């Protein structure tokens, strides 16, 4: 897969391209978020959930779900003129883990979507980005009818570092998605500055 440059140096034609991953557990709303914010028609790789998959596809809590991502989602948004974000949505199910390393190459950071009905499902994403030193923001997707938890409670439950932003969102709302992406880019830039300072001392 061709990698997308995700440093903050503009290309010769003046556009800075940043690669962002949208991760999180099965059914947390990754495909929905990429589709909501993308300014191009998003690429999706959705397949029907089938009776055969029932023993391995745990749809408890998302019983209305009919399809699942089997490779990736792809979208693009210009946060401002000259700053393009390329969004790569990961597949949520364990059996597609093998594509994650490839997808993560060259990424500036990640959004980790969390569903508080199945919070533990986002642990593997959190571990993945922590282990690789990839900055991430946790976005709690507030599905209707579910209990709303304060961001600090979610941070404690996930045992996150206090520097990791935790935000509430509705993955279907474009404005929420944009806000998350802005926070992520700011967080990644702050993380990089802190690392550079530490290296200089």
Ligand X SMILES: Nc1nc2c(ncn2[C@@H]2O[C@H](COP(=O)(O)OP(=O)(O)OP(=O)(O)O)[C@@H](O)[C@H]2O)c(=O)[nH]1
Distance CA 134, CA 172 (A): 25
In which element (H, E) is residue 89 found? Answer: strand 83-89
**Binding string, 50-79, against ligand X, x = CB under 6 A?**
------------x-xx--xx----------
Query: Total number of residues binding Mg ion (CB under 5 A)?
Result: 3
Distance CA 184, CA 143 (A): 22
Told to check if 69 binds Mg ion by CB under 5 A, we report yes
Which residue of 51, 144, 147, 161 would you call a contact of ligand X, by CB under 6 A? 144
CA distances from 102 to 65, 94, 124, 142 (A): 27, 15, 16, 29
- Of 17 and 112, nearer to ligand X (C-beta) is 112
CB of 63 to ligand X, least distance (A): 10
Told to check if 30 binds ligand X by CB under 6 A, we report yes
Told to check if 116 binds ligand X by CB under 6 A, we report no
Stretch that binds Mg ion, among 11-19, 66-74, 137-145, 146-154 (CB under 5 A): 66-74
Where on the phi/psi map is residue 175: left (φ > 0), alpha (ψ -120 to 50), or beta?
Answer: alpha
CB of 43 to ligand X, least distance (A): 13
CA distances from 37 to 71, 101, 142, 193 (A): 19, 24, 17, 27
Phi and psi torsions of 11, nearest 5°: -75, 170
Which residue of 17, 26, 30, 34 would you call a contact of Mg ion, by CB under 5 A? 30
> Three-class SS of residue 34?
helix
- Of 69 and 191, nearer to Mg ion (C-beta) is 69
Told to check if 172 binds ligand X by CB under 6 A, we report yes
CB of 30 to ligand X, least distance (A): 4
Binding site for Mg ion (CB under 5 A): 30-31, 69
């Amino acid at each position: 897969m061709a990698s997308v440059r995700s440093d903050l140096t503009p290309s010769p034609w003046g556009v800075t391209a940043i690669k962002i991953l949208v991760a999180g557990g099965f059914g947390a709303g990754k495909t929905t978020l990429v589709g909501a914010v993308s300014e191009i028609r998003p690429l999706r790789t959705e397949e029907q959930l089938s009776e055969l998959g029932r023993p391995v596809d745990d749809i408890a809590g998302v019983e209305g779900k009919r399809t699942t991502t089997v490779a990736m989602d792809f979208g693009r948004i210009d946060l401002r003129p000259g700053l393009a974000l390329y969004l790569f949505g990961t597949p949520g199910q364990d059996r597609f883990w093998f594509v994650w390393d490839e997808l993560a190459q060259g990424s500036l950071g990640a959004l980790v979507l969390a569903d508080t009905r199945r919070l533990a499902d986002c642990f593997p994403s959190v571990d993945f980005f922590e282990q690789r030193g990839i900055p991430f923001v946790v976005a709690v997707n507030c599905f209707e009818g579910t209990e709303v938890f304060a961001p600090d409670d979610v941070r404690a439950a996930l045992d996150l570092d206090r520097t990791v932003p935790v935000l509430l969102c509705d993955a279907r709302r474009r404005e929420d998605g944009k806000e998350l992406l802005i926070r992520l880019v700011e967080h990644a830039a702050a993380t990089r500055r802190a690392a550079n300072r530490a290296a200089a001392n």
